[in-house]
Structure 1
Amino acid sequence: MVGSFSDIGATSTDFCNFRRDLLAYISGADAQMVVEDMYKNKEMEPDFYFDFDLNEDRELCRFFWADTISRKNYVCFGDVMSFDATYSTNRYKLIFVPFTGVDNHKQSITFGAGLIAREDVESYEWLLKNFKTAMGYTPRCVITDQDPALKVAIPNIMPETRHRFCMWHIMEKVGDKVGNALAQNMEFRKALNNAVWDETLSVTTFELKWAKVMQEYNLVQHRWFDQMYKARASWIPAYFQDIFMGGLLKTTSRSESENSYFGKFTNHHNSLVEFIMQYNRAIGEQRYHQKQLDAKGESSFPETKTPLAIERQAAAMYTKNIFYDFQEEIWEGNFTCKITCKTNDDGGYKYTVHETGGNIFENEGVEEIPGCYIVPRWTKSACAQPMYNVVWKACSNTQGGNELRTIANQLWNEFYNCMGLANGCPTEMDIMLSTMQELKGRLQSARQQTRASTTPQSVIESILNATAPAEIQIKPPSVAKNKGSGKRLKSNKEKATEKGKKKVRTCATCDRPGHDSRNCPERKALPDE
C-alpha cells in the first residue's frame, strides 16, 4: 500500500523494540489500564457490561465483559450455550473462558468472555453470576466438559438451566477404561455407539440397548460404566429431546473451535492490554463474517432442486446454510418416499406415504411448512424476533473513534467512485492523478513536521488509546498456577504410546536390550585371550 519495503520506514527489529517499549510503558499498570478502558467503553455504550474482582493483595484475579452486540446476540440466539476454558492466552496464565453460541447461519458467536486466575467453584460461580446479570436470562441448556467445579457452580447459579456433559470427552475415555482387547473390538464399539449416539432413541429404548451391551460384554459391574449410567440424564441424547439444542447437539466442539480461533490472535506473551486488543480484533473479524452471510442471504436466492412450493418457501425464509440442510431432506425424500394411496376426504385429498424402511405417514396435501414447525432462530429475520423480551437502549455512535472510521469509509468510497468515473478517459485520469500527487506532497510535509514533535510515548498512547495512570490502585495479577499453566499430566495411554515409540538402547555385542557391551553374557562366555 505504501509503495515498497523501503517506504515502510521500519524493520522487524524496530517493531520488536517498539513492543519492548510498550511493555515497559504499561508495566505495573497493565490491569488498571484495562479496567479504565472498560469504563470508557461503558461511557460510550450504556449497554456495555463488565465487572472485575481483586484478591487480598489488590491484584486482578477475575474479569468478565460483554459488549452491546454480544448481549443482543444472546437475546436472539441464547437458547443453548457452550463454554470451555482455554490456556496460554496471556503472560499471567489467567484462564480465558469465552461463552459460545450458534447464530441463524449455524456459525459460532461469542456472547461474552471472562478471565479467572483459578478453576475453582468460587471463580466459576462469580463468572456465571456476572453472565446472568449481564444477559438477564439463563440459557435452556449449557454444555461443558466434566469439570468438577462446573458440576457444582452451574446448578448453584443457574438452577433452571440443564447442564449437559460433552459426549465426545466421555466416549474418548472408553478405550482406556475397557482395556486393549475390548477397545479394539469393533463389534463392541459399534454396539455401544448405536446405543449412545443415536438421538432418535427414546429413554426406554436406550436403557434396553445399554443393558444389552453391558451384559453381552461383561461390563455390568464395571465401575466407570456404572458411573456413566447413573449420570446418563446429563449426557445421553434421549434425555434431552424436550430441549431445542440449536446445533450444539452433543459436544463442546463449538467451544473448542472458538478457543482455537482466539488462539490465532493471542499468545502466552500477551499483556492484558495486548490481549484485550487482540480479542477485539478477533470479535471484529467474527462479526464481519456474520454480516457477510447476512448480506449474501438478502442479495441472492439459493438454487432449488425441485419444483415443490415447500422448497421455494424454505429458500425465501431460511438462511442459506439452514436451507441447504433442509434441501437435502427434500431431495432424499424424493427417492425414499412414495405415495401409495390418495383418497378424497370432505373435499380435500388425504395421502398415504410409505418411506423406505417401513414407516407410514398420512397427510392432507401440505404445500408449505406449517407455522408450528418453523423455528424462528433459523430464519433470515431471526434478529427481528428475539427469544427473550429485552428492551435495548439506543447507543450513541458519535464518539471520536466512530467518527474517524466513518470519515475513512466515506473517503475510500469517494476515491473508488472518482476512479470509476475517470477510468477510460485520459484527460480526467491525468487531472485526478495530478490532484492526488499534489495532496500527497502536502500530507508528506505535514507528517514530517508532526514526526519532529512526536515522542515514542505519544505514539504508544495513540495506539493504546490510553495513558498510564499516575497512581496504580489495581495491580497486575500474579502468574496463576493451573492445570493448563504448567506441564500437562499425561494419561497411561499416552505414556505407553510414547514408550513404544522411544528407541530402546541395545548391546553393541549381541544387539539385545537390557545390558551394555561390558556386561554382555556372550562376551563373558568367550574364553580368555
Structure 2
Amino acid sequence: MEFSSIEQAYVFYQTYAKKAGFSARKGGEHHVGGIIRSKYFVCSKEGHKPQAFDDNYSKLSKPYKRRNRPSIRTGCKAQIKLCSTDGVLFKVDKFVQSHNHSFVCPKDMHLLPAYRHLSETQEEMIWELGTLNLGPVKAFNIMRKRYGGFENVGATKDDCKNFRARIHSYIGQYDADMVINRLTDKKKFMVDYSFFHSVDENKRLTGLFWADGLCKRNYAEFGDVISFDATFKTNKYKMVFVPFTGIDNHCRNVTLGAGLLASESIESYKWLLQSFLNSFGKQPNVVVTDQDPAMKQAIEAVFDKSRHRLCMWHIMKKLADKVEHQLCNNEDFKRRMCDILIMIDFGLTENKWLDDMFGMRSSWIPAFYRHEPMSGLMRTTSRSESENHFFCQVANSQLTLVEFFNHFDGAMDIQRFNHRKNDHISRNTVPDNFSESTLEDDAMKIYTRSIFADQQAELQGTLSECLPIETKIEEPFLRISMKDWKAHGDGLLEVCFKKGEDVIALCTCRRFEQYGLLCKHIYFVFKMFKVKEIPNKYVMRRWTKDVAPNDLNNTFDITVDGDDAHKKAKEVAYEIMQTGEYLIGNLIKDFDHLLIVRDRMREMKEMVDELRITKPIDPKFDRYSRLIGYEKPNTDEPPTVRVPTGIRNKGRGSHKRIKSKKEKIISLKGKRGRTCSHCNIKGHDIRTCKVLKGEATAAADKVANKEGRKRRAIQLEKDPNLIDEEDEEVETGDEEEFEESDEVEDSDFECEDE
C-alpha cells in the first residue's frame, strides 16, 4: 500500500483506528540527507508514563503540589511503519495489529482525546456566543442540543473552556497593544472615526475614548442634552466604563461615544471630556451627572459653555436619610423644599447637607432650568443607569480589552438594529386618528410613532382638560387665559398667540422650550383659530421620522480591507447554513427527499475529506487572529502600550459600603415572619396550621384565641364602627380575665411581703 504523503497515511491510520476502537498518534521518524526515510504511527497507549522524581532543592520555597494525573499508557506494541526512498511516496513496511488492552466502546469513541477537537465553526460559535456574555460551558450545552447529543459535538465542555484559555494566552500582555493598533486602523480607514488614548510614565494604558461616524451623526441631531456615568465590572483590569448617552427621535437611549478610564480622578475626567470635545467639535447644552465632585470640576473646566445639572433622583433619595422620616413625608415640606424660608420654619438651619443642597439649588431644581432649551429631556441619570445596565448584560469582570471591544460592538449592533426597526415601524405603519383633526393628521406624518403618541395625548387633552377663561387683545398678540384641570397648583396658564402667515404661539408652561414638543394649551388655541397644520417653526427636526436616513448604518459600517477574503468566505458560509436550514425546514416531513439531500451532502463530505489531506492546516494563531479580529504583533519585544495594573476605584470591589439609615433599619428588622391567616399565630401559614387540622392542644387554642383577640382589639381601635354584640361580649370577658389575673398577682405580692 502506497501513500503520496505522510499526512495522507496518518489520516488513513486514524480512520482505521477509529473503526477498530482505539486512537493513534505520530511516532518517531528517521532522516537521511534531509529526507524522511521512515515514519512510525503507533497506538496512543504505546510506551509508559515517565516516572517523576521529586527534587526538593529545585522547588520554590512554598509547598509544591503535583497533580495526580492518571496515565493511558500500557506499553502497547501496535504500530505501522512507512518507508520511502525518494521522500515522495511512502510504502507500508511493517504493520503490528495486536494490542495489549481492550478496545473502546463505539459509543465512547468521542471521549478519546484524539477524536476530540473543535472545528473552526465551533470555535467561532463559542466566540460569538461569548459576545452575548454566554460562557464556553453554556456554548457547549447549546451545541449539544443543536447537534442532537454529546457524542455529536466532537468535544467536551473542558475543550471549550481550554479554547477560551488559549485565546486569553494568545492575547496575553499584548492586550492593550492589539486594541490600540485595531482602533488606529479604524481611524485611518473608516469614515469620520475618532479615537484617543493616554498612557502613564510606565507606558501603561490610563484612558481610551472612541466614537465612530454614526455616533457623530447622532450627536449632531440628539446631542443637545447628554448624560454620562461610570460603571464597573466590565473588564479584568478594573477600568471604569463611561458611555455618553443621549435621547434619539424615538425617545430611546442612543450611545454618542464611550471611554475607559484607569482612575476616576479630576485629571482623568478632564482628559475624557477634552477627547469628547475634540471628536465632536461642540459642547452640549446640558450635561446631567450625579454628584461626583471629580465630574463636576472636570465639566466646569472643559464644558464651560454647558449647563451642568445634578441628578434630582439621587438628591431626593438622600433626603430621607438627612432629615427625620416624619418630616420627609410632610406634604408642606415637600412643596416648599426649594423655599429659602423652609430652613427656618422647620428648624433645619444647622443641617449641613440641606444647607449645601440649598446652596447649589440652581444645579438641580427644575425651576432654574425652565428657560434652558431642551432641559426637560433629562432630570436624572436614569438614562445612564439604563445604558450601563444594557452594556453590563454583555460584559463581565473577566473580559480582556479585546473581548470587551467585541462585546461592545455587538451591543452597539443591537442598539442600532432596534433604532432601525423603530424607523421602519414609524415609516410603514399608520396609527389611529382619534380626534379626526387635521392637526393630528399632520403630526402623524411628521413625528415618529412614540413621539406621535405623546402629541396625540396632548390633542386629546384639548377636549377634556382645557377650559378658556378670558381673551385679551394686545396687538398684534392675543393673550388667552385658560385652566388646565390636570396641571399642578391652580392650573392657570396663558397662551400668547399671533395670527397670520407667521404664526407665533407661546405658553407659560414652556413645554415646547423644554421638550421641543407643543403642549395641549397651544393646540387648543390652534383649534380655536382654525390652524390646520403645525407651523414649521414648531417642528423640531430631532423628533421627525427622517432625521436619520434609513441606510445610515451601512454608510459607516465598512471594513478596513474591502477585499477581505475571510469576510467573503464567511458570507458564503452563512448562505450555506441558511440554505441547509431551509432544506431541513421544508423537507422534514418528506423523508425520501430528505434522504436524497443527506446522501449528496455525504458525498460532498467525502470529497472535502480528500481535499483536507493535501491542504495544509492553518496555524492556530492565524485562526485566532481571524476569529477575534485583532492581530498580535509579530515580534518578541515588549508591547508598546502595556495593560493597566493595580487599579482600585471607589465603586469597585469594596464590600464595606456605607449603608443609609433606611438600609440599616431594614437589616436589623430581619426577615419577615409568616403569620397564619386562620389562627393568627406567627411561625406558620394556613397550609401547616394545626388548629385548622384539629391537631392543636388546649394550650395552643388558648394562645391562638388570645392572639386573635389582640388583633381584633387593634382593628377596633382604628375603626370603632366595627364593634358588634360578639365583640362586646369578648371585651367583657377579657376585662374579667384581666381582673382575676390582677388578684392573683396581688396575692403573690402579699406572700412575698410576709
Shorter-chain TM-score category? 0.7 to 0.9
Amino acid in the other structure paired with 1:493? K
2:425 to 274, 292, 296: 296
Contact 1:102 1:247 in 2 (8 A): no
How far apart are the structure 2 equivalents of 1:56 and 1:274? Answer: 26
Q: In the alignment, what sits opposite 1:513? A: none
How far apart are the structure 2 equivalents of 1:115 and 1:18? Answer: 27
Tell me whether 215-224 or 492-501 shows the greater mean CA deviation.
492-501
Q: In the alignment, what sits opposite 1:381? A: 546
Distance 1:455 1:412, change over 3 A: closer
Q: In the alignment, what sits opposite 2:387? A: 258
How far apart are the structure 2 equivalents of 1:41 and 1:441? Answer: 43
Q: In the alignment, what sits opposite 1:327? A: 456
Q: In the alignment, what sits opposite 2:351? A: 222
Amino acid in the other structure paired with 1:467? E
Amino acid in the other structure paired with 2:534? I
With normalisation by structure 2, the TM-score equals 0.57
Deviations 1:469-509 (A, max 9, x none): 22321111103111122315213426633651469xxxxxx
Tell me whether 455-464 or 47-56 shows the greater mean CA deviation.
455-464
Q: In the alignment, what sits opposite 2:165? A: 20
Amino acid in the other structure paired with 1:292? K
Distance 1:424 1:11, change over 3 A: closer
Q: In the alignment, what sits opposite 1:482? A: 649
1:4 to 120, 131, 148: 148
Q: In the alignment, what sits opposite 2:724? A: none
With normalisation by structure 1, the TM-score equals 0.79
How far apart are the structure 1 equivalents of 2:183 and 2:421? Answer: 28
Contact 1:141 1:163 in 2 (8 A): yes
**What are the ranges of 5 or more consecutive residues in structure 2 without an aligned counterpart?**
1-142, 473-477, 486-490, 496-524, 672-754
Contact 1:106 1:247 in 2 (8 A): no
Q: Quick check: 1:48 aligned with 2:213?
A: no
How far apart are the structure 2 equivalents of 1:220 and 1:308? Answer: 55
How far apart are the structure 2 equivalents of 1:494 and 1:444? Answer: 70
How far apart are the structure 2 equivalents of 1:340 and 1:158? Answer: 45
Q: Quick check: 1:461 aligned with 2:590?
A: no
Distance 1:295 1:415, change over 3 A: farther
Q: Quick check: 1:372 aligned with 2:537?
A: yes
1:107 to 252, 273, 278: 252
Q: Quick check: 1:160 aligned with 2:305?
A: yes
Q: In the alignment, what sits opposite 2:608? A: 446
Q: Quick check: 1:282 aligned with 2:377?
A: no
Secondary structure of the 1:62 match is strand
Deviations 1:129-159 (A, max 9, x none): 1111111111111100111111111111111
Q: In the alignment, what sits opposite 2:684? A: none
Amino acid in the other structure paired with 1:16? K
Q: Quick check: 1:137 aligned with 2:282?
A: yes
Q: In the alignment, what sits opposite 1:116? A: 261
1:496 to 652, 664, 682: 664
State the 1:355 CA deviation: 4.6
State the 1:39 CA deviation: 1.8
1:33 to 178, 181, 202: 178
How far apart are the structure 1 equivalents of 2:181 and 2:271? Answer: 21
Distance 1:411 1:292, change over 3 A: farther
Distance 1:409 1:298, change over 3 A: farther
How far apart are the structure 2 equivalents of 1:443 and 1:53? Answer: 51
Deviations 1:425-469 (A, max 9, x none): 989x95x98568635752675379289825543432221123322
Cα RMSD (Å) of the superposition?
3.6
Contact 1:125 1:153 in 2 (8 A): yes
Secondary structure of the 2:340 match is helix
Secondary structure of the 1:64 match is strand
Distance 1:182 1:360, change over 3 A: closer
Deviations 1:319-373 (A, max 9, x none): 1111111111222322123578999xxxxx9999765455576552222222222
1:127 to 261, 269, 272: 272
Tell me whether 35-44 or 59-68 shows the greater mean CA deviation.
35-44
State the 1:377 CA deviation: 0.5
How far apart are the structure 2 equivalents of 1:423 and 1:22? Answer: 39
Amino acid in the other structure paired with 1:305? F
Deviations 1:191-246 (A, max 9, x none): 454456xxxxxxxxxx5xx2354343222443222211221111111111222337
Q: In the alignment, what sits opposite 1:249? A: 378
Distance 1:164 1:359, change over 3 A: closer
Secondary structure of the 2:218 match is helix
Distance 1:193 1:180, change over 3 A: closer
The count of corresponding residues between Structure 1 and Structure 2 is 472
Greater RCO, 1 or 2 (C-alpha within 8 Å, sep 6+):
1
State the 1:419 CA deviation: 10
Secondary structure of the 1:163 match is strand
How far apart are the structure 2 equivalents of 1:352 and 1:413? Answer: 64
Amino acid in the other structure paired with 1:449? R
Distance 1:20 1:303, change over 3 A: same
**What are the ranges of 5 or more consecutive residues in structure 1 without an aligned counterpart?**
197-206, 344-348, 386-392, 504-529
State the 1:71 CA deviation: 1.6
Q: In the alignment, what sits opposite 2:116? A: none
Amino acid in the other structure paired with 2:230? A
Contact 1:102 1:246 in 2 (8 A): no
Q: In the alignment, what sits opposite 2:730? A: none
State the 1:62 CA deviation: 0.8
State the 1:160 CA deviation: 0.7
Distance 1:340 1:500, change over 3 A: closer
Contact 2:288 2:381 in 1 (8 A): yes
How far apart are the structure 1 equivalents of 2:606 and 2:333? Answer: 71
Secondary structure of the 1:211 match is coil
